[in-house]
Structure formats: structure tokens, C-alpha cells
Amino acid sequence: MDSRRDFLQKVALTAISIPFFSFSRLSAEQQISQARYDGPVLRVAIMGLGGYGTRVAEAMQSCQRAKLVGVISGTPAKIKAWQSKYGIPAENCYNYENFDSIKDNPNIDAVYVITPNALHHGQSLRVAAAGKHVICEKPMALNAREGQEMIDACKMADVKLLVGYRLHFEPKTLEIIRMRNDGELGNIRFFQGLSGFRAGDPNQWRLDKKLAGGGALMDIGIYAVNGARYMVGEEPIWITAQETKTDTVKFKEGVDETIQFQLGFPSGAVASCLSTYNMDNLDRFFLNGEKGFAELQPSTGYGPLKGRTHKGELTQPHYTHQTVQMDAMAGIILNGDKPVVPVDGEEGLKDLKIIDAIYRSCKTGERQVLEL
């Protein structure tokens, strides 16, 4: 497979858009009823019109609270095609050189940054300076220092900074979190997160440290990093990590092929995770408690996810992740809604601190103490 996008793009069902709480407790009829929305709409411009940007754009056609109204791209042909397909007016189209002038456009509220990792920081700072809300794909930056600068810039500009954690609104994921919070799993003891696939094209940007900031960990591995936190329900206090590299031609210096990492939590729970660009069929979360367990496999793909617990199969319905995500984020920005699992810049910063510590541990061989 050529990228995480290809790995995750297996089956995606077209779905209605609904508010983002209590999926598992609503009937299909109730969900459809709640999809009828008459309120403020978040007007969004997408920056980066590649494969994932296209997926978000398609999903947004079913949104109730968010609307695609603008584009930012360095490819004029893509801009023209999107204008035609999505009815985007010329005055809402920008390139990477002139998009600062978006500050003078009252018809755009937010920009979703969907570009290579190394560009997130600078582009998000410019969007914030233009007075627009920032939605940034994960990882939101290359390191914690950059992430903090993004948070500070958005606070100074009085705009929101959200990160594209679509799984924080996924019904089966939220049901497991509910079960844990309600004590149905008992005290959590162990989490396992496996995230990986075989990277294809050796010339893709994801294998270029200058653009990606690393390798598999910065791309697919962040799902296990973030998943360990929201599944266990605690913040880790230490980490150890080991890197394995078998192909130094494809995975050059600074581009990790495979990393195993272990997390320790205040309660005594531990996590064991794997991030790789050299093994297929790795997309599994497993959470074990004193009273029961929960498993998702696949756990992070575009869907439908599949899961089970000690009580049986998880049967919550599948909705297009990005549709639910964008409607939920509109609610956060416009109405101050509070999601079950945060998606703000502080959430993204915690993942970056963990990633920084993983790379330090791989380099030094030492356990890293975490303060998130």
C-alpha cells in the first residue's frame, strides 16, 4: 500500500450526519430525527486537496452543521475541479502564497489543514493570524515545541485549534469508553495497540523526514499513541521504546520503520504498542480490565469498525467518520460543545510529547518520564 490513506480506505459506507453524543442509545429513527438541524453552520475551507482532503470534502456533503465553502491549494487544476464539483466561488479560492488574505473574507470561518506534517505548524500559524479557526490533521506538528507555538498563536488570535481525531466521535469507540467509565470493565490493567501496514512507494512524502518528521510513528503509529490514552482513560507517566529497522534504503536516517513502545499509567495499568511501515494486517486495539475486556479490529480504519467485549459483539451503527467529525467540530466551535474525548490543541500536544519521548527512548535506550 502506498500510504496510510490507502491502508485505511477499505470500506466506507455513506451515512447520515447526526450529533455526536450517545450513539449507542438511540434508535435509527431517533438518529435520523436528530439529523434535522436548523442552526448556525461552520463555513470551512480545506487546505490541501489530496486524497484525504477529497475524502473530507465528500463526507462534508452530508454534514448539517459544517459546509465546504473554500479551498487552498498549490495546484490550479485541482482548484478549478473543486470549484466545479462543489460549487465553490472564485473569491473563496486561494493558493499557498496568498491565503493570508483570507482574513478579509467574511464568508470563511475555519480552515482545515490537510497537508504534509512539516507544513502544519507554519500554515496553522498563518491561518490563526488571519483570524480563522484552525482544524489541523494529526499529528498537528512535528514536535511538542511546534505544537505549543500553535496553541499559543490560536489563543492570541482568539480562535479555536482542533485536531482531526475522527475516532473520538466513532460510536463503537465511544461505547467502550462508556463501559469503562461506568465500571463495566473493572479496573483497567492492560492495553494493546497495533498500528501498521507495508509502505509502498519509496518516494512518497511520508518517507521523507523533512516533510513527515519521522516515519511510521508520525503516520499510523499516532493512532496507538492516542488510542492508549483514550482507551485506558489516564495519562501515561513513563514510556520505553525500541526501534527495529531492516531496510535502510527505503527507511533512511530519521524515518522509522518499526517501533515498539510501552506506556505506564498512574493506576498501574500498562500498554504495549507497535507502529510499523513493514507489516500488514495490524489494526487492533485490546483493552483488558479486572471484570472484562473490549476489542476493536479494525480499530482505526475508515470503517465500519468491528468490536466485541466480554458481553458480546458491539452493534453500534457505522457513520462516515469525517461527516460526524465535522458536524461535531462545528458544534465545538460555534456552540462550545464538549466532546466525550477532547479534540483540541492540548490533546494534540499530549500526543506530541509522547512521540518526542518515544524517539528519545529509542535513541538512548532509557525510560522516559512523562509530564503531560
Per CATH, the homologous superfamily of domain 170-317+343-369 is Dihydrodipicolinate Reductase; domain 2 (3.30.360.10)
Determine phi and psi for 43, rounding to 5 degrees: -95, 115
What CA dihedral angle connects 43, 47, 49 and 55, to 10 degrees? -50
Q: Do domains 7-166 and 170-317+343-369 have the same CATH topology?
A: no
Which pLDDT belongs to residue 38?
Answer: 87
pLDDT per position as a tens digit, 295-336: 999 999 998 999 999 999 999 999 999 999 999 999 999 999
Which pLDDT belongs to residue 24?
Answer: 38
- In the chain, where are the structural domains located? 7-166, 170-317+343-369
Which pLDDT belongs to residue 37?
Answer: 82
pLDDT per position as a tens digit, 81-95: 999 999 999 999 999
Question: What is the number of other CB atoms lying within 10 angstroms of the CB of residue 263?
Answer: 28
Global pTM reads: 0.91
Which pLDDT belongs to residue 303?
Answer: 86
How far apart are alpha carbons 22 and 324 in whole angstroms? 13
Closest CA to 262 of 354, 364, 142, 351: 354
Query: Does CATH place domain 7-166 in 3.40.50.720?
Result: yes
Q: Identify whether 138 is a catalytic site residue.
A: yes
pLDDT under 70 in the chain at which residues?
A: 1-35
The cell for 52 is: 484525504
How far apart are alpha carbons 211 and 338 in whole angstroms? 33
- Looking at the DSSP bridge assignments, the partners of residue 42 are 66
Which regions of the chain does DSSP assign to beta strands (E)? 42-47, 66-72, 93-94, 110-113, 133-136, 161-163, 188-198, 238-244, 258-264, 270-276, 278-289, 293-296, 307-309, 312-313, 368-369
The helix or strand, by DSSP H or E, that contains position 334, with its residue range, turns out to be helix 321-335
Which pLDDT belongs to residue 174?
Answer: 98
Grid cell 488571519 is found at 130
Closest CA to 334 of 170, 92, 133, 125: 133
Are the C-beta atoms of residues 37 and 330 closer than 8 Å to each other? no
Phi-psi region of 114 (alpha: psi -120 to 50; beta: other; left: phi over 0): beta
Which pLDDT belongs to residue 74?
Answer: 97
Q: Which of 112, 132, 138, 302 is catalytic?
A: 138
For 27-82, give the DSSP string: -HHHHHHHT---S--EEEEEE--SHHHHHHHHHHTT-SSEEEEEEE-S-HHHHHHH
Q: Identify whether 319 is a catalytic site residue.
A: no
Q: Which of 52, 94, 112, 223 is catalytic?
A: 223
